[in-house]
Chain A
Amino acid sequence: MLDIIVIALMVTGLFFFFGTTIGLHRFPDFYTRMHAAGKGDTLSSILLLSGLALYNLHHLSPDTVQVSLKIMFICVVIFITSPTATHAIMDAGYESKVKYWTRRKDSSAPQSSIEPGKGEDT
């Protein structure tokens, strides 16, 4: 029974990672690739790690519970840091005016009301 849940979690995680990487490959510019990376990375990591943590509870003892808690700690760390890293990388790209892909042909550089490079508050 436990094995079935583990298999389901990990196969779903692998599927989401597959979708993410295909998105990473196909999307036209840096900003849209960031969408795929920031979201898919978080969910697929959480699913795969939960599967592994659950599998560790096969032999129930204080040691395995501790290992499972540590794996869940990695889950929490990834849940917090992955969007933050996405944000940092994206901010760097935005600041250095990486071109972004739009339907409208006239705009080739990011326009915004605030001039990039005046400092930020993160």
Chain B
Amino acid sequence: MNLVINFILLFTTWLLFSGKFDLFHLALGGVSCFIVALFSTELLFENRQKGIAARLGEAGRFIFFSGWLLYQIVLANFHVIKLALSPRSLERDLDPHIFTFKTSLKTTFAKFVLANSITLTPGTVTIRIHGDIFHIHAISQKAMGDLANDEQMSEMEKRVAWVFEGGRR
């Protein structure tokens, strides 16, 4: 089952990149996609129990989430540009901190998405993931926001949990 999904994904990419639809190229693509799918199915899917509907829902929510993320990136860029272009900002606004917080997300992929999202939001960059513990570099005390709070989940983590754990929270 997973093999078929993986093959379809790979073959779509092949069709997109080759752009030729005669029999020779299609057969070539089919054979090579099948061989690659045989090897890479083990790597692609972490959790084998999940059904196809759950995966599609995850993908849909992820697209919705990346829309919100895009808005956050624009905010982050204005933040960086404001810091970079205002002449006195380095003395006034810059106050870097390194702090850690503990996440409750389970899967590796969800942690990866959370780390990338933290990097792309204003004022914070992920340095390292160490098990459940995230090391974050924040550009100022204000930018730390609610991430540093260990007891309750931050806004960002809630959204990532909503994407990957089916909107239970």
Direct contact of A and B (CB under 8 A): yes
- Taking CB atoms, residues of chain B closer than 8 Å to A121 are 108, 129-131
Interface string of B55-68 (1 = CB under 8 A from A): 00000000000100
- B81's partner among A19, A28, A94, A114 (CB-CB below 8 A) is A19
Given contacts A70-B17, A83-B120, contact A39 B76 (CB under 8 A): yes
Interface string of A49-93 (1 = CB under 8 A from B): 000000000000011001001100100000110011011001100
Q: Are B130 and A38 touching (Cβ within 8 A)?
A: no
- Taking CB atoms, residues of chain A closer than 8 Å to B19 are 62-63, 66
Given contacts A70-B17, A102-B95, contact A38 B125 (CB under 8 A): yes
Q: Are A36 and B84 touching (Cβ within 8 A)?
A: yes
Which candidate, B22-30, B32-40, B43-51, B96-104, is the interface stretch facing chain A? B96-104
Interface string of B146-164 (1 = CB under 8 A from A): 0000000000000000000
Interface string of A18-35 (1 = CB under 8 A from B): 011011001111011011
Interface string of B94-135 (1 = CB under 8 A from A): 111110100000001000100110011001011111110101
By beta carbon, the residue of chain B nearest A66 is B19
Q: Chain B's nearest CB lies how many Å from the CB of A32?
A: 6
Give the A interface residue count (CB, 8 A).
Answer: 48
Q: Are B16 and A43 touching (Cβ within 8 A)?
A: no
- A83's partner among B85, B108, B119, B129 (CB-CB below 8 A) is B119
By beta carbon, the residue of chain A nearest B95 is A103
- A39's partner among B73, B90, B95, B100 (CB-CB below 8 A) is B73
Q: Are A120 and B129 touching (Cβ within 8 A)?
A: yes
By beta carbon, the residue of chain A nearest B131 is A121
Residues of chain B at the chain A interface (Cβ within 8 Å): 16-17, 19, 66, 73-74, 76-77, 80-81, 83-85, 90, 94-98, 100, 108, 112, 115-116, 119-120, 123, 125-131, 133, 135, 137, 139
- 16 A-B contacts (beta carbon < 8 Å): A19-B81, A27-B83, A31-B98, A39-B76, A40-B80, A63-B19, A66-B16, A66-B19, A70-B17, A79-B66, A83-B116, A87-B119, A102-B96, A110-B98, A114-B130, A114-B135
Residues of chain A at the chain B interface (Cβ within 8 Å): 16, 19-20, 22-23, 26-29, 31-32, 34-36, 38-40, 42-44, 62-63, 66, 69-70, 73, 79-80, 83-84, 86-87, 90-91, 94, 100-103, 110-114, 118, 120-122
Not counting A32-B94, A63-B19, A114-B100, a sample of 8 additional A-B residue pairs whose C-beta atoms are within 8 angstroms of each other reads A19-B85, A23-B81, A32-B139, A39-B120, A69-B16, A87-B119, A120-B130, A121-B108
The 8 closest A-B pairs by CB, nearest first: A19-B81, A23-B84, A83-B116, A83-B119, A22-B84, A39-B76, A66-B19, A94-B127
